[in-house]
């Protein structure tokens, strides 16, 4: 019984990690750039939710569209400042500018809200319910459901719609995509806006379940990054599986041994995977050439 | 005197003089302490320039190496009471040991994986520092770290410590200067901007990156040790990500490949943090904004930007080209290139479908065929850029399949590329001189340049010598690239479509040049789709189509071969008929 309870908790945490990883993969697939600020965008979403809630005492699902809209705006700013001006430089440049964006967000939030942990309202008001002696939190269920919806939506978007095709074309060869009449600038802006909106959702959900502090972003981005590497660079399904795997691992090992040991083992496992299978457990979307 | 007028040496020297004067005048303990901190970080940045600047790999472990150096000195100095000589040596050794340990899995990875892996290592070390309380003092750390005392001479805070730190910083800068001057610097530049071209002239990227990683760890450890002697306390703060961010920002602001940039970046950002003290801990906000602005607007850093400005506003006259000196090519091997049953497929496409080929030592073989017939794949496999699915390749009697591109270049097989791959900012002369690197065992830069000049003469590109590659026309670029491939002293040279993008006159001239360089006993394989061009110099011809050899022999034999006609003129029997003819 304890195991099932733990697994459920792990599943909720995994869904949260998956949401972070999802935005990361979205930008990766559209621009081939690593967005190191994705974790800080999540925290920003959480703080926006907390700030709104302190003004309007309404349940989370009412706040959700506002948080998403605000975050989409933040995403547009990030793309305009940290990606678009350096789009033709090596991808490592974007890595560095997004590190900078992350620092700005982290310390900006710290300056405005202070370092104390904040909480956002639950998506749906009400108490937890019990099934077969298992305490199931509504928020955990909400996280899992929302994550599942968004993941399905993103898979559908990238694989089955014209917009998704245009996005993938933009990632593969921006000049060629432009030559084919794809509005590349708009695609990139859209991608960043969507990734930031996703981060907003993740932030709102996480801020209720686990609290957020301004410096949490680094932890989220590392977990998302690991999920994406384990799952195969650029694979949505792989990132999802990776996120679940590390969250379950973390929850179970911390329950039985210790959180520090869990984290240490996790990094050791990642380094081993990188060493043995540099393209991830499920392989990369597309091989890199020598 | 002439040195002062070169590049941006004059403003840099003036700035250094002002800094020294200013520190003499306003020598309160606070500003001395700031300058000391700047010196400490300058050492860490000098190290970071090796891995992030010269080798071009985004490591996020520099802060970790810094912290390990700090903890080593902090723990051993305060708990065991050992002197500076021992603690400093260990503070250098431990980060380097960790770097060696993690380098195996980490260094062969591409940029983003390398960044993640180095970040992960940092997280593990930080966890250990916080949780191993009996040794590290946990989250509170350990106070009471002693000051520096070298051979029983105390170095108290204030002026003595400042001089000591800056003395070591200048020593580190000298080491860095010695390590990257001359051809090595160019080899690093080629490797970070075009790894393929670097491997093709025999540069062992992994080894070079490994060395850069170790030097970065060494200098970070030194900086960490000095940091803890300055602060007299060791805590997990020394391992936190903000140290990494500070080092990264200093490197980017100063200039990632300029030694002076390390000092400019460290001095500027250390003081910037103080000017923004009113933001309390959020001075990092200023670092973030500055980092973003610099990467977007001036990625070459302040020193690099100054150099560019000087070049534009007050261009220096190019120095005269060096005296040419001859270079002896490798000896002709006893046996040539033998290829048996070579197969390569990409997904469903058979790029090479059973190639058997022999090239005698000293022979020029022309390989032609339509686009997509497998010509470039053949060169890529012979030079180790791609692995064959089946078959064997021997050069000079030794099997060469599975040999990496850089190793095969050092063993005497070099190549050029379809699209020329030169370092655009470097002169033609230096582009060729990189080929003389020979794994760091090549001649000194002066000799290498003279030999490069000799090669440029031989290739009729004498006038291009002192012109940056970006300003050279296509025909000359080809010649420079061939000269670079020759500089690595090959016995087998493969040219991939050398006539592409050249006009009729340039083609004719290039054909004559190729014929001339082959007379030194070089074995040549030239791939092109232009039969007329190849027939100017080739001893023998091979026609490829759909991954198989459809015709081989002398010029006349191949020219009148029915399969060749059907390949180029089309016809009912092509390509299936062509393949039947081959069988």
ipTM of this complex prediction, to 2 decimal places: 0.88
B251/B301 Cα distance (integer angstroms): 8
Output the pLDDT for position A290. Answer: 29
Mean pLDDT, residues B273-289: 79
A114 touches B at CB < 8 Å: no
pLDDT tens per residue across span B111-132: 777 888 888 888 889 988 988 8
Q: Which residue has the higher pLDDT, B460 or A143?
A: B460
Mutation site, B55, B56, B58, interface A, largest A CB count within 10 A:
B58
Q: Which of B1-5, B366-370, B402-406, B533-537 has the lowest mean pLDDT?
A: B1-5
Mean pLDDT, residues B328-336: 80
Per the CB < 8 Å rule, is A267 touching B287? no
pLDDT tens per residue across span B295-315: 999 999 999 999 889 888 888
In terms of CA atoms, which chain A residue is nearest residue B285? A104
Mutation site, A25, A266, A274, interface B, largest B CB count within 10 A:
A274
B405 touches A at CB < 8 Å: yes
Check: CB of residue B82 under 8 Å from CB of residue B76: yes
Output the pLDDT for position A289. Answer: 34
Output the pLDDT for position B3. Answer: 75
B204/B187 Cα distance (integer angstroms): 10
Q: Which of B59-73, B130-144, B216-230 has the lowest mean pLDDT?
A: B130-144
Per the CB < 8 Å rule, is A92 touching B106? no
Burial class (CB in 10 A: 0-12, 13-18, 19+), B313: exposed
- Residue A59: both structure tokens together: 């349940």
Q: Say if residue B571's pLDDT is above 70.
A: no
Output the pLDDT for position A283. Answer: 61
Output the pLDDT for position A128. Answer: 67
Per the CB < 8 Å rule, is A104 touching B106? no
Output the pLDDT for position B572. Answer: 46
SS (H, E, C) B181-247: CCHHHHHHHHHHHCHHHHHHCCCCHHHHHHHHHHHHHHHHHHHHHHHHHHHCEECHHHHCHHHHHHH
Burial class (CB in 10 A: 0-12, 13-18, 19+), B397: exposed
- Point out the residue among B105, B116, B386 whose CB comes nearest to the CB of A225: B116
Q: Say if residue B99's pLDDT is above 80.
A: yes
CA–CA–CA angle A162, A168, A169 (5° rounding) = 85
Q: B359: which strand partners? A: B337
Output the pLDDT for position B254. Answer: 94
Mean pLDDT, residues B239-266: 93
Mean pLDDT, residues B458-482: 91
Q: How confident is the model at residue B456 (pLDDT cuts 50, 70, 90)?
A: very high
Q: Say if residue B277's pLDDT is above 50.
A: yes
- Point out the residue among B56, B131, B299 whose CB comes nearest to the CB of A260: B131
Q: Say if residue B478's pLDDT is above 70.
A: yes
pLDDT tens per residue across span B86-97: 999 999 999 999
Chain A positions in Cβ-Cβ contact with residue B105 (cut-off 8 Å): 271-272, 274-275
B414/B407 Cα distance (integer angstroms): 10
Q: How confident is the model at residue B573 (pLDDT cuts 50, 70, 90)?
A: very low
Check: CB of residue A203 under 8 Å from CB of residue A40: no
B106 touches A at CB < 8 Å: yes
Mean pLDDT, residues B392-404: 88
Mean pLDDT, residues B342-358: 87
Please identify which residue in the block is written with the tokens 């006159």: B505
Output the pLDDT for position B583. Answer: 33
Output the pLDDT for position B582. Answer: 38
- Point out the residue among A82, A101, A274 whose CB comes nearest to the CB of B105: A274
Output the pLDDT for position A250. Answer: 87
B116 touches A at CB < 8 Å: yes
Output the pLDDT for position A288. Answer: 38
Q: Say if residue B15's pLDDT is above 80.
A: yes
Output the pLDDT for position B576. Answer: 41
B residues 360-389 closer than 8 Å to A (CB): 385-386
State the average pLDDT for chain B: 87
B32/B38 Cα distance (integer angstroms): 10
CB pairs A-B closer than 8 Å: 122
Output the pLDDT for position B486. Answer: 93
B309 touches A at CB < 8 Å: no
Sign of CA dihedral B330, B331, B333, B336: positive
Chain A positions in Cβ-Cβ contact with residue B195 (cut-off 8 Å): 290
- Residue B134: both structure tokens together: 């009996």
Kindly give the parts of chain A with pLDDT less than 70.
Answer: 1, 126-135, 278-290
In terms of CA atoms, which chain A residue is nearest residue B300? A93
- The angle that helices B62-75 and B205-231 make with each other, rounded to 10 degrees, is 40
Per the CB < 8 Å rule, is A86 touching B58? no
CA B393 to mean position of chain CA atoms = 29
Q: Say if residue B107's pLDDT is above 50.
A: yes
Per the CB < 8 Å rule, is B291 touching A288? no
Per the CB < 8 Å rule, is A107 touching B115? no
Helix (H, G, I), strand (E, B) or coil at B506: helix
Chain A positions in Cβ-Cβ contact with residue B285 (cut-off 8 Å): 103-104, 107-108, 111
Output the pLDDT for position A56. Answer: 82
φ, ψ of residue B375 in degrees (nearest 5): -60, -50
Sign of CA dihedral A49, A51, A53, A56: negative
pLDDT tens per residue across span B513-540: 998 888 888 999 999 988 889 998 999 9
In terms of CA atoms, which chain B residue is nearest residue A103? B288
CA distance B303 to chain A (A): 18
pLDDT tens per residue across span B16-56: 888 888 888 877 888 888 999 999 999 999 999 999 999 99
B299 touches A at CB < 8 Å: yes
Mutation site, B199, B285, B346, B386, interface A, largest A CB count within 10 A:
B285
Check: CB of residue A220 under 8 Å from CB of residue A22: no
B residues 418-447 closer than 8 Å to A (CB): none
Check: CB of residue A191 under 8 Å from CB of residue A30: yes
Say if strands B523-527 and B364-368 run parallel, antiparallel, or are unpaired. parallel
Per the CB < 8 Å rule, is B291 touching A96? yes
CA distance A56 to chain B (A): 29
Output the pLDDT for position B373. Answer: 79
B355/B377 Cα distance (integer angstroms): 11
Mutation site, B296, B376, B386, B404, interface A, largest A CB count within 10 A:
B296
Question: Helix count (H) and strand count (E) of chain B?
Answer: 25, 14
């Amino acid at each position: 019984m304890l195991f099932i309870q733990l697994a459920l908790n792990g599943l909720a945490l995994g869904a949260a990690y998956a949401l972070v990883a999802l935005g990361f993969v979205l930008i990766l697939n559209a621009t081939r750039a690593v967005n190191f600020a994705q974790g800080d965008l999540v925290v920003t979403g959480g703080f926006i939710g907390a700030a709104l809630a302190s003004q309007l005492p309404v349940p989370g699902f009412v706040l959700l569209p506002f948080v998403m809209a605000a975050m989409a705006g933040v995403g547009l700013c990030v793309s305009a400042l940290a990606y678009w001006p350096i789009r033709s430089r090596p991808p490592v440049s974007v890595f560095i500018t997004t590190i900078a964006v992350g620092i700005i967000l982290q310390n900006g939030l710290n300056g405005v809200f202070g370092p104390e942990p904040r909480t956002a309202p639950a998506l749906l008001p009400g108490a937890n319910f019990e099934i077969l002696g298992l305490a199931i939190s509504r928020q955990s269920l909400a996280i899992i459901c929302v994550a599942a919806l968004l993941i399905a939506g993103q898979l559908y978007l990238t694989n089955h719609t014209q917009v998704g095709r245009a996005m993938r074309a933009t990632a593969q060869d921006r000049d060629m995509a432009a030559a084919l009449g794809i509005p590349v600038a708009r695609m990139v802006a859209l991608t960043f806006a969507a990734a930031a909106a996703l981060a907003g959702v993740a932030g709102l959900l996480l801020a209720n379940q686990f609290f957020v502090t301004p410096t949490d972003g680094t932890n989220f981005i590392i977990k998302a990054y690991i999920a994406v590497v384990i799952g195969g660079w650029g694979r949505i399904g792989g990132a999802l599986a990776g996120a679940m795997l590390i969250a379950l691992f973390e929850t179970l090992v911390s329950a039985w041994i210790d959180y520090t040991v869990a984290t240490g083992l996790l990094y050791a496992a990642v380094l081993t995977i990188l060493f043995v299978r540099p393209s991830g457990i499920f392989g990369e979307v597309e091989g890199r050439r020598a | 005197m002439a040195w002062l007028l070169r590049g941006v040496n004059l403003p840099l020297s003036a700035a250094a003089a002002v800094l020294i004067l200013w520190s003499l005048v306003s020598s309160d303990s606070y500003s001395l302490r700031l300058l000391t901190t700047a010196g400490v970080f300058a050492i860490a940045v000098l190290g970071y320039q090796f891995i992030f600047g010269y080798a071009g790999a985004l490591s996020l472990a520099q802060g970790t190496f810094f912290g390990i150096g700090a903890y080593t000195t902090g723990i051993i100095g305060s708990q065991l009471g050992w002197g500076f000589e021992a603690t400093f040596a260990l503070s250098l050794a431990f980060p380097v040991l960790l770097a060696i340990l993690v380098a195996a899995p980490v260094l062969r990875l591409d940029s983003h994986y390398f960044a993640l892996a180095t970040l992960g290592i940092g997280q593990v070390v930080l966890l250990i520092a916080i949780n191993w309380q009996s040794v590290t003092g946990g989250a509170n750390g350990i106070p009471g770290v002693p000051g520096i005392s070298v051979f029983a001479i105390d170095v108290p805070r204030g002026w003595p410590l400042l001089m000591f730190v800056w003395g070591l910083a200048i020593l580190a800068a000298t080491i860095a200067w010695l390590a990257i001057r001359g051809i090595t610097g160019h080899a690093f530049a080629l490797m970070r901007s075009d790894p393929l071209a670097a491997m093709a002239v025999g540069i062992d990227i992994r080894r070079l990156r490994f060395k850069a990683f170790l030097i970065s760890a060494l200098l970070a450890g030194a900086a960490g040790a000095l940091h803890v002697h300055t602060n007299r306390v060791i805590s997990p703060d020394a391992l936190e990500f903000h140290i990494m961010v500070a080092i990264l920002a200093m490197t980017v602001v100063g200039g990632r490949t300029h030694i002076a940039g390390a000092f400019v970046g460290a001095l500027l950002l250390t003081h910037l943090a103080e000017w923004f003290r009113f933001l309390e801990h959020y001075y990092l906000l200023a670092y973030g904004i500055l980092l973003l602005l610099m990467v977007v607007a001036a990625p070459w850093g302040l020193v690099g930007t100054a150099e560019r400005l000087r070049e534009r506003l007050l261009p220096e006259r190019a120095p005269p080209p060096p005296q040419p000196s001859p270079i002896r090519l490798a000896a002709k091997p006893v046996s040539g290139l033998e290829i048996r049953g070579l197969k390569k497929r990409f997904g469903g496409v058979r790029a090479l479908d059973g190639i058997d080929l022999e090239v005698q030592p000293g022979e020029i073989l022309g390989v032609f065929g339509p686009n997509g017939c497998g010509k470039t794949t053949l060169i890529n496999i012979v030079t180790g850029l791609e692995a064959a699915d089946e078959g064997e390749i021997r050069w000079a009697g030794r099997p060469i399949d599975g040999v990496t591109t850089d190793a095969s270049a050092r063993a005497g097989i070099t190549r050029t590329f379809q699209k020329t791959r030169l370092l655009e900012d470097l002169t033609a002369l230096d582009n060729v001189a990189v080929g003389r690197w020979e794994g760091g065992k090549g001649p000194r830069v002066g000799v290498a340049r003279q030999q490069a000049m000799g090669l440029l003469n031989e290739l009729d590109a004498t006038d291009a010598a002192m012109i940056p590659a970006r300003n050279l026309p296509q025909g000359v670029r080809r010649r420079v690239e061939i000269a670079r491939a020759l500089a690595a002293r090959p016995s087998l040279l493969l040219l991939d479509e050398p006539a592409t993008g050249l006009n009729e006159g340039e083609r004719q001239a290039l054909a004559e040049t190729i014929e001339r360089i082959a007379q030194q006993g070089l074995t040549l394989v030239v791939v092109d789709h232009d039969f007329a061009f190849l027939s100017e110099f080739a001893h023998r011809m091979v026609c490829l189509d759909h991954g198989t050899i459809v015709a081989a022999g002398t010029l006349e034999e191949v020219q009148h071969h029915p399969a060749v006609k059907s390949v180029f003129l089309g016809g009912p029997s092509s390509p299936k008929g062509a393949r039947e003819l081959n069988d």
